Structure 1
Amino acid sequence: MKKTILVIGTFDTKAAELAYLIERIEAQGGATLAMDVSILGDATFPVAVSKHQVAEAVGTTIPDLIALGEEGEAFERMSAGAAVMTRRLFDEGRFDGMIALGGTMGTDLALDCAQSLPIGVPKYLVSTVAGSPLIAAERMAADVQFILWAGGLYGLNPLCKSSLSQAAGAVLGAARAVEAPSFDRPVIGMTSLGSSCLKYMKRLHPELMKRGYDVAVFHTTGMGGMAFERLAAEGVFACVMDFSLQEFVNVQHGSLVSAGTDRLSGAGRSRTPQLVAPGAADILDLAGWQDIPDRFKDRPFHQHNRLIKNVAFNVEERRHLARAMAERLAQAGGATHFILPKGGIEEWDRPGEAAHDPEGLAAFTAEIEAAMRGRVEMTALDCHINDAEFCDAVLAKFDAWVAEGIVPAGSIAR
């Protein structure tokens, strides 16, 4: 079956680039649906969805947007219209994947369009700011793909054509190959910081699979937590096992390794049952290339690789983080149970390792117990988070929730 790609862009200023992208998609046997999101100029290329239709999708007109006299505000309204129109066209079965291109303005709009679509729908953004820290984690759809638009700011050239032709092949190939999630078994959303720092998923994953659940484990290095939070907020998961919280503590201390300010809230908003533990909440992530801030230079330090490194929190910082966790979880609308392994919360805090700090751990666990009391149901364990006893306690609580009907029963058949 021929696949149709929604092509989004400003067809007044980037008509040549968009026309080339469309030609490349159609040359490979795909069909296209062009949507113009320009404001000031008129499209110089035939489009299926005009800028006037996009504006009307949010109850405004192009003349009204121009009359605002403020480019940023006008384009923000156009972004809202583009997102509404994108979802409407998808619901009507008009396309199978989307691609957009632009600079900061076009990328800003395209992020909203990508967020409007379900997971599994191919979403490609050809952007001059792909990979930039300008793009906040919370703006990104869970499965959006970025392609850097090198040399593509104005006019076609060999570099620009190279990026656009690859993008055309990528989005059309994805639309042809994608296996959209069917969710024929309940899905457990789990977080972890790799498999060397936190190891519980090695035991939990097979046990949950045997119980009839699929398990999606998210790497909590910023983008993983962003995807996890978005899916949790959408109610995709039957239960959440959020056992790696260092993205939550990162955002409290301004780290650029961030999943956004909403971390640790998605499951609560969707009333999804959640089991939570403070894995890796004693360390701050820093980019590998980043200088260690002066206030952390005397702390225990771990160089994980060239991309990421960690410094440890002191006693008072740990107490503050414990209170912040309790405050966030107390707002949850669904069943919430906190599991506190008092013997350690990540592999590097064991005796002899870089983050070993018995005083800091004791202060943190004591503050957690005090802050959670009367607000969040909790189980305290005299073990390390990577010990078998932690997994046994998780499974015991999970099985109890299944028996009580809080978590839907698994499905062995596939």
Structure 2
Amino acid sequence: MATLDTKGREVSYLADIIATCGRKTVLIDIGTSRVAGETKQADGNRQRVGSPAELLKEIAATTRVNVHDLQASGTISAIIGVAGGKGSAAFGEIVSDLPYGFPKLLVSSARPALLAELAVHNDIILYPTLVDLLGINAFTARVLENAGRAIAALHYRPAKAGRNKKIVAITAFGVTTPAANLCIARLAQAGVDTIVFPANGAGGRKMEQLIAAGEFDAVIDLTTTELADEIVGGTASAGPDRLKAASRQLIPQVIAPGAVDMVNFGPPSSVPDQFRGRQFYSHTPYTTLMRTNISENESIGRLTAERLSLAEAPAIVLWPRKGVSDYDRDGGIFRNADADRAWLDAVKNHLGSKIAIRELDCHINDPELAEAAATWILKQLGQGDRDADV
């Protein structure tokens, strides 16, 4: 898929590479001019989708439906785009309805910030060219050859209808990984599969999408730190739909305040001036963490309660008194019991009485919390002791 009026030569070269690997191709033109650029037809089959008179955004909306139909009918089992900035944005929109795991490869000369944004929304395999795509030369030929061989080796195999095991989604961060691992082990003992999402913005966003698609039977949302970034303005926000899908899907969910003691930024130089004088920790040279304060934790707790209050299916909040991350424990650099308590008080004040809140005298990474979360979820799934304490 490409704007053939500007990327015709590159697409023709790429189609030849794919053909030498034994794969058939369908060319989809999302160009905006009436006359498409010259291109060699792949197996005599070139499809032009959308009206050439429309703006690229309008063409992308039409193409999105057509590409989804091609995938649903089994006509295509992978997709590759060749694009600059506008074409890359259109590619991201067009493939957004394709299933998770469907191979989506984008060869792009777009700016890194745009590619990073695409990665937040979908599981696109990104291949930055670092040189402009203006014909075939010694550099672009290398890129297109590698990309062609890569996409030719990828196939989508749809998941079989139905499943033998229950599946639970779990959120984790480096500072809550021990808790996630304990939950995984406990659920595995009961024959329940788990899928873990990194609470880095992209992970939470994708988890919400997959919950909405009916992929999970329950959620252990250990790490709600993305709400901190949404409230305070960090780089790991998962957007306004975070903590909503499970309630809409009527599946049981456990909520814990994992890593709400921190907001994510990039290198120290990227931290906004408004946060001067705050408490920071350099997690890596590229990640700067800022400790949330009492006011921010109160706001995060209120937002958590407002979204969780929509739940009609069973839900429970677990709160660990001894800290919400590896950095927020006795002697830890982010330990602030008063700020943590502000989160809990806000949840209590704004959450309806139908949802239980259980306070645990432990740290979030202690076995006690994971056992409580897993035991409660197993009970809701009908695979645990129905008389177990919640």
TM-score (norm 2): 0.89
By how many angstroms is 1:311 displaced? 0.9
The answer for unaligned runs of 5 or more in structure 2 is: 385-390
Identify the residue that residue 104 of structure 2 maps to in structure 1: 123
Distance 1:272 1:77, change over 3 A: farther
Question: Contact 2:118–2:124 at 8 Å: present in 1 too?
Answer: no
AA aligned to 1:269 is R
The Cα of 1:29 is off from its aligned counterpart by 1.8
Q: Which residue of 2 aligns with 1:316?
A: 295
Match among 24, 34, 50 for residue 27 of structure 2: 34
For the pair 1:263 / 2:242, whether they are aligned, the reply is yes
Q: Please name the residue that 2:153 is paired with.
A: 173
* Gap change, CA 1:331 and 1:227, over 3 Å in 2: same
Give the 3 Å change call, closer, same or farther, for CA 124–332 of structure 1 in structure 2.
Answer: farther
CA distance in 1, matches of 2:270, 2:58: 39
Aligned to 1:93: 74
1:16-35, aligned counterparts within 5 Å?
16-35=9-28
CA contact (8 A) 1:314 1:360 kept: yes
Tell me the secondary structure at the aligned position of residue 264 of structure 2: strand
What is the alpha-carbon distance in structure 2 between the residues aligned to residue 327 and residue 190 of structure 1? 21
Per the TM alignment, residue 289 of structure 1 is displaced from its structure 2 partner at its CA by 5.2
Aligned partners of 1:238 and 1:272 also within 8 Å: yes
Q: Distance in 1 between matches of 2:111 and 2:168?
A: 31
1:215 aligns with 2:194: yes
Report the CA distance shift for 1:305/1:262 in structure 2 as closer, same or farther (over 3 A): same
Shift of 1:109: 1.6
For residues 325 and 363 of structure 1, the distance between their equivalents in structure 2, rounded to whole angstroms, comes to 12
Measured against aligned partners, the alpha-carbon deviations of 1:367-399 in whole angstroms (never above 9, x if no partner) come to 222222436433222222111211121122112
Residue type of the partner of 1:37?
I
In structure 2, the partner of 1:408 is none
* Map 1:385-400 → 2, pairs under 5 A: 385-400=364-379
Moved over 6 A (4+): none
Distance 2:164 2:12 in 1: 40
**Do the aligned partners of residues 291 and 93 (structure 1) sit closer, same or farther apart at CA in structure 2, a change above 3 Å counting?**
closer
In the alignment, does 2:134 pair up with 1:154? yes
3-state SS of 1:304 partner: strand
Which residue of 1 is the match for residue 387 of structure 2? none
In structure 2, C-alpha distance between the alignment counterparts of 1:231 and 1:290, rounded to whole Å: 35
In the alignment, which residue of structure 1 is the partner of 2:47?
Answer: 50
CA 159–375 in structure 1, closer or farther in 2 if over 3 Å, else same: farther
Secondary structure of 2:185's partner?
A: helix
Cα distance change, pair 219–374 in 1 and its aligned pair in 2 (3 A)? same
SS state at 2:381 partner: helix
Deviations along 1:190-233, one digit per CA (max 9) or x if unpaired, are 11002x44411221112111211221111212222232222122
Deviations 1:22-50 (A, max 9, x none): 11111122211111111213222237353
- Which whole-Å CA distance do the structure 2 matches of 1:100 and 1:334 have between them? 41
- Cα displacement (A) at 1:99: 0.6
Report the counterpart of residue 281 of structure 2 in structure 1.
302
| Secondary structure of 1:319's aligned partner | helix
The answer to whether residue 251 in structure 2 is matched with residue 254 in structure 1 is no
1:236 aligns with 2:215: yes
Give the match for residue 75 of structure 1: 56
**2:314 maps to what in 1?**
335
Gap change, CA 1:304 and 1:159, over 3 Å in 2: same
Q: Does the C-alpha gap of structure 1 residues 400 and 186 become closer, same or farther in structure 2, counting only changes over 3 Å? A: closer
Rate the CA distance shift 1:209–1:171 in 2: closer, same or farther, 3 A. same
Identity, % of aligned positions: 26
Q: Secondary structure at the match of 2:331?
A: coil
Shift in Å at residue 301 of structure 1? 2.1
Provide the C-alpha distance between the structure 2 equivalents of 1:161 and 1:297, rounded to a whole number of angstroms.
48
Find the aligned partners of 1:262 and 1:32 in 2 and give their Cα distance.
36
Give the superposed CA RMSD. Answer: 2.3
- Cα 1:291–1:121, aligned 2, differ >3 Å: closer, same or farther? closer
Q: Which amino acid aligns with 1:30?
A: R
CA contact (8 A) 1:208 1:215 kept: yes
